[in-house]
Amino acid sequence: MHSDMDRIGDLAEAGEKMIERLRRKAFLPESRKGLNVRFGIAEAAQLLGCSTNRIRMAEDDGRLPPPPASENGRRAGYTVEQLLRMRGVLGASPARADADEPAIIAVQNFKGGVGKSTVTTHLAHYLAVQGYRVLVVDCDSQATTTTLFGFNPHFNVTREETLYPYLSIDPTQSDLGYAVKRTPWPNVDLIPSNLELFDVEYELAAAGADGGSVLAARFRKLRAGLADLARDYDMVILDPPPALGTISLAVMQAANSLLVPLAATTPDFCSTVQFLSMMDQVLRQLGEAGIAVGYDFVRLICSKFDGNDPSHAMVRQIMEQTFGSALLPVSILESAEISHAAMRMMTVYELERPIGTTRTHKRCRANMDEALGQVEQLIRRGWGRVAPASEEAVVNEAA
């Protein structure tokens, strides 16, 4: 006869099998996630900051391949991979210069349910659409970000494929290259996670009298490993655990920028204030221990905001009064399209067509572009640049 304790394991096993069934259903026929989203010529021109005529001319003179055509003879739209090739040909790549420091952004809040993994994955895909090279590092043993990228952390990811072999007490890897996986996005890579990554926390907690020095060594090691990997990317996005543990502390020290998502509710506001207070104390203690921490920017972003809810508007106003310019002006709106995409283990940037109404999808996508574009501008400002001006903007300014 099973006890309630035994049932916990049974429930976990049943849940893991259901996740795999959902993954297989979502990613048929190969049970593997793909990227089928396409961009029409007008949207491609907007993303490249040029005119549609310039794209057509490049196709006519052979600098770009002929336009993709569907069965009915109409343009089928460009893939992300084709957009990247077009950026190279047309000189429209936003990539950082060699002298620019890669942005290493920790998306962190100790309060669960604020949309941390949703912000992480959408930010990665937004930046990918803009043409940047992105590395996402899932540092959270709950592995939600890994799941959203199409990997089942229980069936598809082993402990040896996570940060564990690099951060453990007895490491078997001297750099992080072993852990980098390709994703369906040609310019986004992932270091995945799974539940076994939590073993790092146990090991360091059991380090005994030498725990402090071991911990400091792990902090420096993660920072060095990520800095080494970052040379091949424009941005690195870190998704740490929603708790003040060893890995979270290491991520704080490895990042050079901090993005704090919080929902527009009083409990989330109060929890985030406590998080910031705790962060302040921890960073001071790290500094006193000789572990340097510095951020190019620290910003809060309001997530899951419902503009039709008066309580959300009130809490948003409280946020503005409290955090001032540290709160990004554009919130991420609550949208059924985000929820529908998540059910398919996707972001709104991966949807081939709207799941809800076209209007809802367009509104959600436009809001995501505007909200996450704020982060892009902070990064580019750190490089001493603003967003590249489109040909249309240059012409209008000249007029």
pLDDT, one tens digit per residue, over 347-359 is 999 998 888 889 9
Residue 130 above 90 pLDDT? yes
**Confidence category of residue 140, pLDDT binned at 50, 70, 90:** very high
Given CATH 1.10.520.20, say whether it is the number of domain 103-393.
Answer: no
Q: What's the whole-number mean pLDDT along residues 246-273?
A: 90
Residue 295 above 60 pLDDT? yes
Domain boundaries, the chain: 41-90, 103-393
CATH class of this structure's domain 41-90: mainly alpha
**337 within 8 A of 299, measured Cβ to Cβ:** no
Residue 88 above 60 pLDDT? yes
Residue 27 above 70 pLDDT? no
Beta strands in the chain (DSSP E): 103-107, 134-138, 181-182, 188-191, 235-239, 257-263, 297-303
**Confidence category of residue 394, pLDDT binned at 50, 70, 90:** very low
State residue 397's pLDDT score: 38
**Which residues pair with residue 188 across a beta bridge?**
134
**Poorest-pLDDT segment among 29-33, 152-156, 211-215, 321-325:** 29-33
> How would you list the strands of the sheet with 235-239, edge to edge?
181-182, 188-191, 134-138, 235-239, 103-107, 257-263, 297-303
- Report d(CA 167, CA 197) in Å as an integer: 9
Residue 19 above 70 pLDDT? no
- Report d(CA 36, CA 327) in Å as an integer: 34
